[in-house]
Amino acid sequence: MSGASGWQVFWWVVLPYIALAIFVVGHVWRWRYDQFGWTSRSTQLQERKLLKWGSPLFHYGTFAAIGGHVIGVLIPERWTRAIGIPETAYRWFSAGAGTLAAVLVIGGVVVLAGRRLLVPRVRATTSPIDYVALILLLIVILTGIAPTIGVNLLGHGYDYRTTVAPWFRGLFAFSPDVRAIASAPLIYQVHATAAWMIWAVWPFSRLVHAWSAPVWYLWRPYVVYRARRASPPAEPGTSGRRWRKIGVPY
Amino acid sequence: MRVMAQIAMVMNLDKCIGCHTCSVTCKQVWTNRPGTEYVYFNNVETKPGVGYPKRYEDQEQWQGGWTLDRKGRLALKAGGRVKKLATLFWNPHLPSIDDYGDPWTYDYQTLIDAPAGTPNPSAHAISALTGKDMPIRWGANWEDNLAGAPGGAEADPNLAGLQDAVRLAYEQAFMFYLPRICEHCLNPSCVASCPSGAMYKRAEDGIVLVDQDRCRGWRMCVSGCPYKKVYFNHRSGKAEKCTFCFPRIEAGQPTICSETCVGRLRYLGLLLYDADKVLAAAATPEPADLYQAQLGVFLDPDDPEVRAVATRQGIPADWLDAASRSPVYALIARHQVALPLHPEYRTLPMVWYIPPLSPVADVAGAYGDDADAVFAAIEALRIPAEYLANLFTAGDAGQVRRVLRVLAAIRTVMRAGQPVGHERGRPGRPVPAAGNRQVRRPVRDPAGPRRGRGAAAGPA
């Protein structure tokens, strides 16, 4: 961290850690005190025609964008080099797939945001925290898409894997490289800052439904029975399995 | 054999006068909250009619319930687990609020605050969704008593194939009421559709509930239920449904809809069934055989073997006694005068209906003891047996005619035994429920058999 000014340390180290702390503690609090409010708060009942396009576009685009961030930010550049992927190949893959994801996300979020603001039935369900989350999401998406399309696809390219990515990974290793992120172009800095703010807002918004992605539905028995008698603790070796076939003794 | 107990209900449609008291008291108890304005755990529909929400019975449109796949195995009609997860972000089969009707209240304050001299201040309808003025277009009782039936009720899915035979002209019109609650199915497709696992069937009494803490608002139960008896609370973002008034049931009281029913048409009771047979019964190849298949799932509570197995499997003795005293078992299984609603959905519903004689007066007493005349009257009833069959037996009109004949025969027998003349002022014997196994041959009047033209006729 040598050479970093005080406010740089504050901005790129303290703030992210505060956001992370709020993220963790907030989720624990929300789970313990407000599982009743833990929902996607769908408005499909009120409006279905716009949602038909906006919601799948946004969600599938977001999955693609998240996958791209895992590849581009979490995986170090030297790993992809080690398996023989040159920087240019990575850049064009990043630009191509990133643009595809960007188109999906921006298309979806435009429909969803427009729907939320302009359809009275949907607007009436919108709480202040929804607006906060939506504004932050718009900032993150726009500042994420602009360099993806403007710099990597159409421009000369920028290797964020030598600046933004090491700093981000460093946060989790408790040795963030402040100078690396401080030297990144402003748009990447705005993108990263808004992303941290989303982490801080996340536990208090409807975004929590992301953690409830019901993948275990794929192997659960169809019909769930529940008895009122207290269930005994999980047997050793069952790894705390929650779903049992009915009729199987404990 | 795996014995399970199920709280069930039978409704005698001949007794329903369509007063909606059940709906009102149910709403007062359970759904008088913001977000549930349009939610009716109990509603009363006029048949023929499109129902609530519109055309909910047409599963080609809504894709609720179960179907059989190409290999004859049971499958959710709306698609399997992968498709459910893939359509999580937009459920292609979810009704919109307009299929129920935008819920509204009125701007009553205008009436109070209108300046003196205002000619006829009127209270505008205000949408519960937006709080703004709205035009009223549809609601839960929009087609009460055949209102708008010419031009509207033709969309009733149960009239499919009957349009030529059924005319909604005034002279030929027929109607009856169909009170509906959640069916608390033995094979609930809403539970199977819930990605979160928030919906469950209680192991003790079979009541199907939504765990409000686990529901994440994925909405698959709403579309998965073919009866559309799971509703989406638009405020809380969670699913809600009829609870069979489980707090009242646990306290030994009837459901609020049963207790406040003016016509006393709801029978509540316990049934024993073999959980091992449920899936096979639901996968019966021919839809018209599903009624018989479901009967085959129920267990005789007086069978010593059943009682022994049930006791071994932890069903308490007083529950077994309740099952053997159950009017619901008598009506459904012993005398088989009650029929399931839409067995073709393959959910094995557990709220059954005694089909209506229409009009009752044509059958009851009009033909005295002449059995042949009574049975002929069944054929002349205004409600086509085929229409009832589309509701209750997946199209098997023979089963409907059989039930109607049994009902007519019981009416004739019971009327023949009613006190007349000098006995009229005296409280009669408690009339056993139709179909109860305690029914005995009624006491004949000492004056001997007579043409039963009702109590007013007096001794012959």
Chain B neighbors of A231, CB-CB under 8 A:
none
Whole-number Å distance between alpha carbons of B59 and A180: 59
Chain B neighbors of A224, CB-CB under 8 A:
191, 194, 197, 199-201
Tokens 């199907």, residue located: B208
Q: Specify whether the CB–CB gap between A38 and A78 falls below 8 A.
A: no
Find the CB nearest A40 among B130, B213, B237: B237
* Mean pLDDT computed over every residue of chain B: 87
Query: CATH number for the domain including A71?
Result: 1.20.950.20
- What would you measure as the largest C-alpha separation in chain A, in angstroms? 67
User: What's the confidence (pLDDT) of residue B428?
Assistant: 46
- Residue A236 inside a domain? The answer is no
What residue spans define the domains of chain B? 357-428+439-460
User: What's the confidence (pLDDT) of residue A66?
Assistant: 94
Residue B326 touches partner A, C-beta closer than 8 Å: no
User: What's the confidence (pLDDT) of residue B457?
Assistant: 37
- At B216, is the secondary structure helix, strand, or coil? coil
Q: Which of residues 251-310 of B touch A (CB under 8 A)?
A: 275-276
Phi, psi of A165 (to 5 degrees): -65, -45
Name the domain count of chain A: 1
- Residue A166 inside a domain? The answer is yes
- Judged by CB atoms closer than 8 Å, whether chains meet at A214 and B195 is answered as yes
Find the CB nearest A46 among B82, B97, B188: B97
**CATH architecture observed for domain B357-428+439-460:** Orthogonal Bundle (1.10)
Q: How far is A162 from chain B (nearest CA, A)?
A: 36
- Local mean pLDDT, 10-residue blocks, chain B (460 residues): 96 96 97 94 94 95 96 94 95 96 92 87 91 92 87 83 67 88 97 96 96 95 97 95 96 96 96 96 96 97 96 94 96 97 97 89 61 73 90 95 90 75 46 45 44 38
Q: Specify whether the CB–CB gap between A117 and A43 falls below 8 A.
A: no
Whole-number Å distance between alpha carbons of B117 and B125: 22
Q: What is the ipTM of this complex?
A: 0.85
- At B328, is the secondary structure helix, strand, or coil? helix
Number of Cβ atoms within 10 Å of the Cβ of B187: 24
Whole-number Å distance between alpha carbons of B460 and B95: 60
Phi, psi of A200 (to 5 degrees): -70, -35
Chain A neighbors of B85, CB-CB under 8 A:
214-215, 217-218
Q: How far is B11 from chain A (nearest CA, A)?
A: 26
Whole-number Å distance between alpha carbons of A183 and A167: 11
Whole-number Å distance between alpha carbons of B332 and B198: 30
> Which of B431, B331, B240 is CA-nearest to residue A36?
B240
User: What's the confidence (pLDDT) of residue B117?
Assistant: 87
User: What's the confidence (pLDDT) of residue A206?
Assistant: 94
Find the CB nearest A55 among B90, B197, B213: B90
Give the list of residues 6+ apart from residue B428 with CB closer than 8 angstroms, or none: B418, B419
User: What's the confidence (pLDDT) of residue B116?
Assistant: 87
The β-bridge relationship of strands B208-210 and B43-47 is unpaired
Whole-number Å distance between alpha carbons of B46 and B147: 9
List chain A residues with pLDDT less than 50.
1, 250
Look at chain A and count its residues.
250
- Residue A207 inside a domain? The answer is yes
Find the CB nearest A217 among B85, B90, B237: B85
CA distances from residue A44 to A112, A130, A169 in whole angstroms, order as listed: 11, 16, 38
Q: How far is A19 from chain B (nearest CA, A)?
A: 25
Chain B neighbors of A104, CB-CB under 8 A:
none
Q: Which tokens is B116 given?
A: 């003196």
Question: Concatenated DSSP letters for B55-84?
Answer: TTT-HHHH--SEEE-TTS-EEETT--HHHH
Chain A neighbors of B212, CB-CB under 8 A:
36
> Which of B55, B158, B35 is CA-nearest to residue B99?
B55
Tokens 């479901």, residue located: B294
Q: Which tokens is B356 given?
A: 């209506």
pLDDT digits (tens, 9 = 90+) for B167-191: 666 667 889 999 999 999 999 999 9
Phi, psi of A182 (to 5 degrees): -65, -20
Q: How far is B92 from chain A (nearest CA, A)?
A: 8
Whole-number Å distance between alpha carbons of B405 and A56: 54
Give the list of residues 6+ apart from residue A20 with CB closer than 8 angstroms, or none: A171, A199
